[in-house]
Structure 1
Amino acid sequence: MSPTVVVIGGGYGGSAAAKALDGVADVVLVDPKDAFFHAVGALRAVVDPEFLPRVFFPYDKLLTNGRVVRDRAVRVEPGRVTLASGEELAADYIVLATGSGYPFPAKSDLDDSAAAQRKYREAHADLLAADHVLLLGAGPVGLEFAGEIKAVWPEKKVVIVDPVADILSEYEPGLREEIRRQLAELDVQLALGTPLKENPATAPGERGTFHVSTTADVDITADIWFRCFGVVPHTDYLAGALADVRQANGEVAVTDTLQVKGQDTVFALGDITDIAESKRAGTASRHAQVVADNIKALIGGSAELATYRPGPAAILLPLGPTGGAAQLPGQGVRGADIAAQYKGADLLTGRFGELFGTRTT
């Protein structure tokens, strides 16, 4: 009989690892959602309801031999996974790929895709009715969201507030300059190095006019605001020997072979790892390839395992379908043409349509 590999989490890394192992093991993919959510396209989905269905991919065609279990892992320890339903899964290998939470709308917080789409459509209606938008957080999400809003509604006033002194400080100065230039052309206001004195009275995403000011006395009046910061790794299900490798911030300690420290048959990938690198969809996919190769090697009796080495800082940051900039290994800083070429109108939906055996329109 084939060994059983239980993959916890059907996001970018988990789905790719499950697909890669489907032909060599009995794969069980566990995820509470009824469809994969393509978070790369989430912000486009808020401003363009016609794009919204393209970011949901049902799991039913992902695996040819294995199965997808729609459930939530509540206790995971070496060799055994306990689900919220009470079912227990025996596992020869476990892949921890539960990713992270992030404030809506950059990520969906609902497991049912129909309910999630309703929430995005409601957010679109609220955003449509707002003349002034406040975004808290000048990281990639806040900047990209501003670009998406301006691409559809150039007349809306958009201001981004962040206590940091500059945008994208981990990247090259040329990238920051290019993004700043395009934001200025879009008339996006940046209030950096000056946090709000207090949060708006309304909830994030709730329409309603409010007045706030920053510690530098920048006064802001807006009709809606969104939180664009706050990554939280999902690892509270770890138990037994695995609980010991869960760090205070929720990340999981891994070796350079992406095995959980102290474990030979448990791997972790994506946002939950303690690897010092930007946590992106592409990173999770690269992790997945290393994990799949190493599980295949172990199944085949080999002791030679592949190692993962973080690459240089890289980013593809769109500002709407035709704007943005990139910093790519070996290419340096590139402008809007490259950002549009790699992401642009498609935002990689075609690539994931191939992975999940579906078509995008």
Structure 2
Amino acid sequence: MDSNDSAHVIVVGGGYGGITVAKALDDVADVTVIEPRDTFVHHVAALRAVVDPDWIERIFLPYDHLLTRGRFVRDRAVRVDGTRVELASGGTLGGAHVVVATGVGYPYPAKIDGTDRAAAQARLRATHDELAAADRVLLLGAGPVGLEFAGEIAAAWPTKEVIVADPSPALLPGRYPEEFRAEVHRQLDELGVRLLLGTTVAQPPTSPGRAGRFSVAGVDADIWFRCHGTGPRTSLPVDAYLRVRDRPGQWAVGDVTDVPELKMARLAQAHAEVVAANIRTLLTKGAWTEDDLTTHEPAPDMLVLPLGPKGGAGYGPGFGLLGAAQTAEAKGADLFLGYYRALLNLD
């Protein structure tokens, strides 16, 4: 092992991008992952866990086996200054490279609040019980999260009335063909989901995810969820190599970057693979130029949208239009859980 192999790489965030870059560099660097959660949370399946309690245990995956050489520090990064990271506990870590992979916040239950697995699982069970007892459900937001949640609820409880409201008159704005939107419309109609597009509905008086009868904008419901709006974040400017501009040694992956593309787990992992390849080059190649580095091209709009375990639709320039059976085969039943278990070395 040469001296470059022992260079310290700090990864801030143990989500999809963070675990990917950490594992990819574990054999050539001393990797430290800073993450406040006690387990990895497979948020791609969080909505399934709300409607199907069998999933509640399954989406929380331990970090224990991900790294052979590296380590996890359960703490929160409060400041990243170049290649130094200040921790909430009061300590400071420094490295040759820092990878910022902190992601974004999103309303519960698409993103699980808190850092303790037991508390998060208890909250998911409580939410399931509240939802199971409701006859009418209002979802605010008809983006991918709102529509996926609507499909999960309608598939699990066919007799519930599910209403999705959004101020936008168009379903799934983006660079998608009308055939894709038509297929999503068709399946939602089959599930009995009621769409209120071009409709602004004020926030109901009850707390989201808690049962309580209300009426807003002519809509009567027993429970509601907010399915739009990300939390505060810093959009880090990055170059084509995913280096943070004007901050030598600092890189960024996933939702925290200013890359003009959709914010999705698969793209965070694509960023992570680019960053890991570039850091590996810098650590192991004695002489290098930027021609030796890997670049990331912003990805075109692509979406695989499950609508319950057996339904959904998808579209991407590389594969065209997917119907219900193809979507379920690609994503619906397993929601990529097996892939992430393998990534975390749990099988």
TM bin, normalised by shorter chain, reads over 0.9
Distance, in Å, in 2 between the alignment partners of 1:224 and 1:209 is 7
Seq. identity, %: 53
Match of 2:25 among 2, 14, 21: 21
- Is 1:8 the counterpart of 2:12? The answer is yes
Q: Distance in 2 between matches of 1:32 and 1:205?
A: 24
Match of 1:118 in 2: 122
Aligned counterpart in structure 2 of residue 138 of structure 1, from 136, 139, 142: 142
The residue aligned with 1:172 is 177
Distance 2:184 2:199 in 1: 20
- The SS at the match of 2:72 is strand
1:42 aligns with 2:46: yes
Query: What's the offset of the Cα at 1:328?
Result: 2.2
Secondary structure at the residue paired with 2:22?
Answer: helix
Structure 1 residue corresponding to 2:313, chosen from 299, 314, 325: 325
1:260 matches 2:239: no
Matches within 5 A, 1:106-255: 106-170=110-174, 171-196=176-201, 198-213=202-217, 219-234=218-233, 250-255=234-239
Instruction: Answer whether contact 2:39 2:117 (CA < 8 A) is retained.
Output: yes
Give how far 1:285 is off.
0.5
Amino acid at match of 1:279: K
Q: How many angstroms apart in 2 are the aligned matches of 1:88 and 1:264?
A: 18
Q: How many residues align?
A: 338
SS of structure 1 residue aligned to 2:186: helix
Instruction: Decide whether aligned partners of structure 1 residues 253 and 233 sit closer, same or farther in structure 2, where only a CA change above 3 A counts.
Output: farther
* Partner SS state of residue 282, structure 2: helix
Partner of 2:282: 298
2:313 and 2:321 in contact (8 A); partners too:
yes
CA contact (8 A) 1:49 1:124 kept: yes
| 1:31 equivalent in structure 2 | 35
- Aligned counterpart, 2:69: 65
Of the three residues 339, 342, 346, the one matched with 1:354 is: 342
- For 1:87, the equivalent position in structure 2 comes to 91
The residue type equivalent to 2:236 in the other structure is: V
8 Å CA contact retained: 2:76, 2:88: yes
**C-alpha distance in 1, partners of 2:112/2:125?**
12
CA–CA separation in structure 2 for the residues paired with 1:349 and 1:233: 28
Native 8 Å contact 1:233 1:272 kept in 2: no
Asked whether the equivalents of residues 83 and 97 of structure 2 are also in contact (C-alpha less than 8 Å), the reply is yes
* Deviation for aligned residue 1:233: 5.0
- Cα distance, 1:103 vs structure 2: 0.3
Letter in 1 for 2:191: L
Amino acid in the other structure paired with 1:186:
L
- Confirm or deny: 8 A CA contact 1:252 1:274 kept in the other structure: yes
Deviations 1:130-167 (A, max 9, x none): 00000000000000000000111000000000000111
- Which runs of 5 or more residues in structure 2 are unaligned? none
Counterpart pick for 2:328 among 340, 348, 355: 340
Question: Counterpart of 1:208 in 2: which secondary structure?
Answer: coil
Letter in 1 for 2:179: G
**Unpaired stretches in structure 1, ≥5 consecutive residues:** 214-218, 235-249
- Which residue identity lines up with residue 230 of structure 1 in the other structure? G
CA contact (8 A) 2:82 2:248 kept: no
Q: 1:11 and 1:22 mapped to 2: Cα distance?
A: 16
**Amino acid across the alignment from 1:114:** A
Contact kept in structure 2, 1:159 and 1:188, CA below 8 Å: yes
Q: Point out 4+ residue stretches in structure 1 off by more than 6 angstroms.
A: none
Whether the 8 Å CA contact 1:99–1:233 is kept in 2: the answer is: no
Distance 2:261 2:326 in 1: 23
Give the Cα–Cα distance (whole angstroms) in 2 for the partners of residues 120 and 50 of structure 1: 11
Q: How far did 1:203 drift?
A: 1.1
Q: Is the 8 A contact 1:233 1:251 kept in 2?
A: no
Distance 1:63 1:76 in 2: 23
CA-atom RMSD, angstroms?
Answer: 1.0
Q: Which residue of structure 2 aligns with residue 55 of structure 1?
A: 59
**1:333 alignment partner, SS class:** strand
Provide Cα deviations, 1:250-303, integer angstroms capped at 9, x if missing partner.
211110100001133100010011111101010001000000000011112422
Cα gap change, 1:128/1:43 in structure 2, threshold over 3 Å: closer, same or farther? same
